[in-house]
A and B are shown apart, each in its own frame.
Chain A
């Protein structure tokens, strides 16, 4: 438990500072590498992440670090199978945010190399897209339709079965 009392400071693109324990920081491969290279005394600048997103990422890292610590402590007994499910439920609730923030979380998880967060958040978006029409998907991603009406009609008719209701 001694090592987890050490904390480091990260700085968001908005200039806000956030404190995190070493164990939480270890959730991010990027931060871990930066600390290895430059040591823990300086503040770690993360200019690719804004404060709103940073706060969420901090929350995630803390939760997962605590979960790992609890696993190690009781030899895994306290957590058990129920514990993993509980964590998954927490992750699902955690990701119920509006799309803009969710996408920023994905970008942050990618940049900070937090694999589990990247996987969960990408999966959350994948689940959102399932069953949606191309128009709805464009709205979600803020993408412009660059097909001509003829091209689009052709694509649809060739893949009619995919546009039928489930």
Chain B
């Protein structure tokens, strides 16, 4: 008697674990279509185990896209996405997002965006988490409503514990006086220790890499926050010339920093990229910075993306760069900002294939964005009221 588990003719039935093994290899756009195949697949694709598995699998595969915030804080949120093939796609915001006042993207991590916005003038600003690929939005509970000082925010995902967290540092009179951490898993805030931050100021624009958030700090320091351990650490910057402009970025999944000493007009010194390597072991001395150089680089280097660097500059001030911008400037319709200044994002690879890909407005922010179907709630998904 032959024991046959497989159907000889036709298509055999594939068990769920195999379907998951196939689907985790598919980019998000196709994955969203797969949700419409049948109810079983729809549930599978939303399950936390599938999402975690997919994230782990694609962690090294995906080149992140670039998410660009085109508007300044006062207008409604205008975002566009530039994928690895340099195609630009404008976001259709759900109505909930479009009606926000003073919205600003804080950060993007593993598919979720953290957005701050003005709610009836309360301070600090309100927050929400949004996955543009699925459309789901989650409003973050408020804690303090009438803070008179300044808040620095950080948002990130830690793969090891599979948690999204938001960090809020309260600064009053140039001093940190409170730090709260929100965890998506518990949907609540809690206060954390911040002894190391005494006497240190943090600056906006956080970078998250490898389960750690980083900010520029005063006293030539970089402040880091370990998402899993919920601890702050201070990291001295490498020794660089004074008055250097430094921008934190990510290079090959490590913290990196551009330092440049040129003004837009002079362009004398090439920006240097410093990459931080953490040594294994507890000793902080094991940490080292290595320098990387790019040829034909320009000041105003913004971030590393794929195998190139993005430069962001004002084309009117640096007319000689027009020839690198190419066809985009020949278009008849340009959005010209106040004073007739046109701002351009230029990408230069190591071999200097300068490509202009995107016209951006003023007050822009650029984030690495990985599209994913991550839910804004690990237990149930919430739909925006539209």
Report the separation of the CA atoms of residues A23 and B34 in the bound assembly, to the nearest whole angstrom. 39
B332 within 8 A of A: no
- A130 close to B (CB within 8 Å): yes
Closest A residue, CB atoms, query B42 = A155
**A47-B5 contact given A126-B22, A141-B14, A142-B10, CB 8 Å threshold:** yes
For the complex, give the distance between the alpha carbons of A122 and B21 in Å.
7
- Shortest Cβ gap from A54 to chain B (Å): 11
Q: Are A159 and B35 in contact (CB under 8 A)?
A: yes
Known: A13-B2, A49-B6. A143 touches B29 (CB 8 A): no
Asked if A122 and B4 make an inter-chain contact with CB atoms under 8 angstroms apart, the answer reads no
Q: Check if B10 sits within 8 Å of A100, measured CB to CB.
A: yes
Contacts of B39 in A (CB 8 A): 146-147
**Contact with A155, one of B3, B19, B35, B40 (Cβ below 8 angstroms):** B35
Question: Is A20 close to B, CB under 8 A?
Answer: no
Query: Measured between alpha carbons, how far is A144 from B39 in the docked complex, in Å?
Result: 10
Distance in angstroms from A71 CB to nearest chain B CB is 24
- Can you list, as one digit per residue, whether each of A104-148 has a CB less than 8 Å from chain B (1) or not (0)? 101100100000001000110110011111100110111111110
- The one of A53, A146, A162 in contact with B33, judged by C-beta atoms closer than 8 angstroms, is A162
Query: Is A13's CB under 8 angstroms from B5's CB?
Result: yes
Q: Quick check: is A59 within 8 A (CB to CB) of the other chain?
A: no
Known: A48-B6, A132-B30, A162-B29. A110 touches B18 (CB 8 A): yes
Given B29, B33, B89, B92, which contacts A137 in the complex, CB threshold below 8 Å?
B33
Interface size class of A (residues with CB under 8 A): 35 or more
C-alpha gap A110/B2 in the complex (Å): 21
Contact A47 B36, CB 8 Å, known A122-B21, A129-B22, A132-B30: no
Find residues 286-324 in chain B having any chain A CB closer than 8 Å to their own CB. none
Chain A 82-101, CB-CB to B under 8 Å as 1, else 0, gives 00000000000000000110
> Is A7's CB within 8 Å of the partner chain B?
no
Q: Which residues of A in the span 150-166 have a Cβ within 8 Å of any Cβ on B?
A: 152, 155-156, 158-163, 166
- Partner of A156 from the list B22, B25, B36 (CB cut-off 8 Å) is B36
Whether B6 lies near A131 (C-beta < 8 A) is no
Q: How far is the CA of A13 from the CA of B7 in the complex (A)?
A: 11
Q: Which residues of B contact A131 (CB under 8 A)?
A: 30
Complex Cα gap A131–B89 (Å): 17
Among B11, B21, B37, the residue within 8 A (CB) of A118 is B21
Interface readout for B7-47 with A: 1 if CB under 8 Å, 0 if not?
01111111001110111011111101111111111100000
Residue contact A144 to B38, C-beta cutoff 8 Å: yes
Question: Is the Cβ of A162 less than 8 Å from the Cβ of B32?
Answer: yes
Distance (Å) between the CB of B364 and the closest chain A CB?
22
- CB of B135 within 8 A of chain A? yes
Instruction: Indicate if A9 sits at the interface (CB-CB under 8 A).
Output: no
Is there contact, CB below 8 Å, between B2 and A15? yes
Partner of B27, one of A13, A52, A130, A140: A130
Known contacts A156-B36, A161-B89; A50 and B6 CB within 8 A of each other: yes
* B6 contacts across to A, CB distance below 8 A: 13, 48-50, 53, 104, 107
For the complex, what is the distance from the CA of A152 to the CA of B21, rounded to whole Å? 25
Q: Residues of B contacting A138 with CB < 8 Å?
A: 37-38
| B23 adjacent to A163 (CB under 8 Å) | no
* B198-212 CB contacts (< 8 Å) to partner A: none
Query: A100–B26 contact, CB under 8 A?
Result: no
| CA–CA, A66 and B25, complex, Å | 29
Interface residues in chain A, defined as those with a beta carbon under 8 Å from any beta carbon in chain B: 13-15, 47-50, 52-53, 99-100, 103-104, 106-107, 110, 118, 122-123, 125-126, 129-134, 137-138, 140-147, 152, 155-156, 158-163, 166
- 9 tightest CB-CB pairs across the interface, nearest first? A162-B32, A126-B25, A142-B11, A134-B36, A47-B3, A122-B22, A122-B21, A159-B32, A48-B5
Given contacts A132-B30, A141-B19, 14 further A-B contacts (CB under 8 A): A13-B4, A47-B5, A50-B4, A50-B6, A100-B10, A103-B14, A107-B6, A107-B14, A130-B27, A134-B36, A141-B14, A144-B38, A145-B37, A147-B38
* 17 CB-based A-B contacts, threshold 8 Å: A13-B6, A52-B8, A100-B9, A104-B6, A106-B14, A107-B14, A122-B22, A123-B25, A129-B23, A138-B37, A144-B38, A145-B38, A146-B38, A158-B135, A159-B32, A159-B35, A166-B29
